[in-house]
Amino acid sequence: DIQMTQSPSSLSASVGDRVTITCQASQDITNYLNWYQQKAGEAPKLLIYDVSNFGTGVPSRFSGSGSGTDFTFTISSLQPEDVATYYCQQYDSVPITFGQGTRLHIK
Amino acid sequence: EVQLVESGGGLVQPGGSLRLSCAASGFTFSDHYMDWVRQAPGKGLEWVGRIRNRANLYTTQYAASVTGRFTISRDDSSNSLYLHMNSLKTEDTAVYYCSRGYNFGYPLFDYWGQGTLVTVSS
């Protein structure tokens, strides 16, 4: 199975800050990586697919980059509504696996 | 508008069975693979399994944790997806989500249902 190591597990930042989350795959997953946002009590929402493509209606302050085994998710200017848990996911091979999540708080 | 609506969750005793349903609308259901993902209380996301489309013979794949106990099926005539769960364990307690899977030209997991809670407890 491909292990997805996501960091940090928790993050606190101020409104307007640039926020970065990293995800490392245990083997090459080319560009088969998604990022999700999950707010409390809600289903996950696809933010970024295939490493760097925007999901439907996703604000441009969210972005993704990387290739192979190392990937980065960035919020360029943190907004109050961005409080959520963020997950990376690989779909290069079955079983599809997720990172353990990053819980994002506002200072 | 794409919609996925899960149902069928509830309280079941260990060793029991349950069938979850996912009603799909707003897209050509028969063209897409479909996936189930679960989330135990306070925990992260875990992929459960998938069913491919007719062109790929409706083949299925499962996570090791559910192989032999869970079965995914679909009815393209009614745009419905199912998760048949047998020999349930307390560790199967989770919110179960259906999600739209692979189809050429579409992102995977771009739409999710609201989830249905399964509680396995005596």
**Which of A46, A53, A100 lies nearest to residue B44, judging by beta carbons?**
A100
Contact A46 B113 (CB under 8 A): no
Contact residues for A62 (Cβ-Cβ < 8 A; gap 6+): A35, A47, A48, A54, A73, A74, A75, A76
**By the 8 A CB rule, do A16 and B68 touch?**
no
Tell me: the pLDDT tens digits for B54-105?
999 999 999 999 999 999 999 999 999 999 999 999 999 999 999 999 988 8
Q: Which of B33, B45, B66, B104 to mutate to test the interface with A (most CBs of A within 10 A)?
A: B45
CA distance A5 to A67: 15
**List of chain A residues whose C-beta atoms are within 8 Å of the C-beta of residue B110:** 46, 49, 55-56
Can you tell me the distance from the alpha carbon of B98 to that of B91, in angstroms, rounded to the nearest whole number? 19
Say which DSSP state B112 is in. Answer: B
User: How confident is the model over B21-58, as pLDDT tens digits?
Assistant: 999 999 999 999 999 999 999 999 999 999 999 999 99
**Which stretches of A2-69 are DSSP H helices?**
none
Spatial separation of the C-alpha atoms in residues B25 and B35, rounded to whole Å: 15
Class of residue B106 by CB neighbours under 10 A (exposed 0-12, middle 13-18, buried 19+)? middle
Q: Hey, is the C-beta of B101 within 8 angstroms of any chain A C-beta? A: no
Residue numbers in A near B114 (CB within 8 A): 42-43
- Asked if pLDDT for residue B18 goes beyond 90, the answer is yes
Q: Do B46 and A36 touch (CB under 8 A)?
A: no
- For residue B14, give the 3-state DSSP assignment: coil
Chain A CB contacts of B108 under 8 Å are 34, 49, 91
pLDDT reading at B5 higher than 90: yes
* Residue B94: per-residue pLDDT: 98
How confident is the model over B113-118, as a mean pLDDT? Answer: 98
Q: What is the CA radius of gyration of chain B?
A: 14
What residues in B contact A53, CB-CB < 8 Å?
107
* pLDDT for res A86: 98
Asked if residues A66 and A50 have their Cβ atoms less than 8 Å apart, the reply is no
Rounded CA-CA distance B93/B65 in Å is: 13
Q: Which residues of chain A have pLDDT under 50?
A: none
